[in-house]
Structure 1
Amino acid sequence: MYGSFADIHCHLLPGIDDGASDLESSIAMAQMAVADGVHTIVVTPHQLGNFSRNQGDDIRQETILLQRVFAERRIPLEILPGADVRIEDGMIEKLLSGEVLSLGDHRRHVLLELPHELYFPLEKVLQSLEREGMTGILSHPERNQGILRDPSLLEPLVDQGCLMQVTAGSLMGTFGSRSQELAEWMLEHGLVHFVATDAHGVKARRPLMSRAYDRIVELVGEAVAGDLCTINPELVACGKPIEGGVRATPRRGWSGFFSAKKVG
């Protein structure tokens, strides 16, 4: 196990969305993450959609307060402000004003959330972000029902510069066999740039990375696992660019493993 991870998608802030319910839950999640080898987390409460009440300045302040608690408890975890942003009209303007947060608050990478049940074209959103010097990271595409029905949507998005974040639990079957198969297929075809926990608590959807890291090693090797679980998320946390596009990886053949028809 690599043993030193950064997590760019985690619902760690207490009482702000459907993640940690209170401060003690946040502390328990942080302790679990550290024990599993996580050293940095970008906190990503939901913004826009059903969580339009979550404002950028409130998230920034809550992040500072929670970091102080971790320091008092001697929990060796760095946290940075961010958001899991539902794609909707006016999103770009709110990102530019700071009302909606980019990852690490660097205005470089934006974690984009589609509705779970459908896919809609992202090309214009990605172009608008690019014009403002920002890059979109699509949150858990392997769990989106529209993409599950048509995985061929993914490669053109990656070719356009969209980065892909797969959920650690998807690689362990937490979200079902179809999502697991798609996550593994994406890995083996070089379509994943990050693995993150999307953690919501300590009993279900936990802040754990190590088992997913080990699974990535099995599928595509240690170098890729290190990039997806450590190096790339650390670069995002620091506001630095990462290499996008489709990467060359060891891959299985198409036959007998995965096809759009099988997933659909």
Structure 2
Amino acid sequence: MIDIHCHILPEVDDGSRSLNESIEMALIAREQGIKKIINTSHYHPDFRYKKGEELLKELKDFNNILRENMIDIEVLIGNEIYYTNDLIKQIDELDFYTLNNSRYILIELPPTNFPSDLCNIVYELKEKNYIPVFAHVERYREVQENPELIYEVIEAGAIIQINSHSILGKSGKELQRTCNTLISRNMVHIVGTDAHRSKRRTPIFLDAYKYVCEKYSKEMADNLFIKNNNAIINNEDLYVSKPCKEEVKKKGFFKRLFKL
């Protein structure tokens, strides 16, 4: 399996705090059946996180350490880019990495200033030859209250990612409920761990895969955990099912009559 959203590199953002913790995370990931990880360090205008060539050097050094310790996991380059109103205007000048240098760009939306024009953001990014992957959408209150937002951005051409911890209810029942709503309506394309630590927010994947297998189908789980993740690192088109609109329940004759 392939984890396309993880903060495994040591001391580059708010993820792993040390080399030892990064190695522990890699060992957990290996036990979970993960073979490749895209390190998606935060790219945020307000924080001095490592980026550009400095980030690439950290990645190369860590892959060497994994090989020296005979940990058969490969870490690939990427960023989780924090959306701002100036992002698209400045995007050609920024030194961020797409997911394994593909067309796919992982976008984190501001939780306290959630954009009202998500579809326009998708269109503008696609005009610049990027395919936006919206990260951990189940965490946003606006999505929890109105999943139709996700239907609309998928129709516009976005890819939707949710976290494995959320699927399992480890981040709260509301996030798990939102994940189930989105999965059942074909409005999820990718699952990632969004792992930050070796003791909490760990790279747990296998249990979430089994959960989707049992609750939905093995075909669904394979698409969300394996096939689409593999397509991203190879810069290929994803398998995207037609999303389902919410069914509006019609009121019966007597209910309408008594309401009158």
Q: What is the TM-score when the length of structure 1 is the normalising length?
A: 0.87
Q: 2:105 aligns with which of 103, 107, 110?
A: 110
Contact preservation (8 Å) 1:158, 1:246: no
After TM superposition, give the deviation of residue 253 of structure 1 in Å: 8.4
After TM superposition, give the deviation of residue 126 of structure 1 in Å: 1.2
| One-letter code aligned to 1:26 | S
Q: 2:10 aligns with which of 9, 14, 29?
A: 14
Q: 2:127 aligns with which of 131, 141, 145?
A: 131
Q: 1:165 aligns with which of 161, 164, 173?
A: 161
- Structure 1 residues 95 and 235 mapped into 2: Cα distance closer, same or farther (>3 Å)? farther
Is 1:30 aligned to residue 26 of structure 2? yes
- Structure 1 residues 65 and 90 mapped into 2: Cα distance closer, same or farther (>3 Å)? farther
Is 1:190 aligned to residue 186 of structure 2? yes
Q: Distance in 2 between matches of 1:142 and 1:254?
A: 22
Q: Distance in 2 between matches of 1:26 and 1:224?
A: 30
Q: Distance in 1 between matches of 2:201 and 2:21?
A: 13
Is 1:236 aligned to residue 229 of structure 2? no
After TM superposition, give the deviation of residue 192 of structure 1 in Å: 0.4
Q: Distance in 1 between matches of 2:200 and 2:185?
A: 29
After TM superposition, give the deviation of residue 129 of structure 1 in Å: 1.4
Aligned-residue sequence identity (percent) comes to 26
After TM superposition, give the deviation of residue 95 of structure 1 in Å: 4.5
- Structure 1 residues 48 and 245 mapped into 2: Cα distance closer, same or farther (>3 Å)? farther
1:222 matched residue in structure 2:
218
- Give the alignment's Cα RMSD to 1 decimal: 2.0
1:262 matched residue in structure 2:
none
| One-letter code aligned to 1:18 | D
Equivalences for 1:36-115 in 2 at 5 Å? 36-92=32-88, 95-97=91-93, 99-106=95-102, 108-115=103-110
Unaligned runs of 5+ in 2: 250-260
Q: What is the TM-score when the length of structure 2 is the normalising length?
A: 0.89
Greater CA radius of gyration, 1 or 2? 2
Q: 1:153 aligns with which of 146, 149, 152?
A: 149
After TM superposition, give the deviation of residue 145 of structure 1 in Å: 1.6
Contact preservation (8 Å) 2:223, 2:239: no
Residues 64-117 of structure 1: CA deviation (Å, up to 9, x unaligned): 1111110111110011100111001443465534601111122x0011101234
What is the SS of the residue equivalent to 2:238? coil
Q: Distance in 1 between matches of 2:234 and 2:91?
A: 18
What is the aligned length? 247
After TM superposition, give the deviation of residue 119 of structure 1 in Å: 2.3
Q: Distance in 1 between matches of 2:76 and 2:87?
A: 21
Contact preservation (8 Å) 2:22, 2:198: no
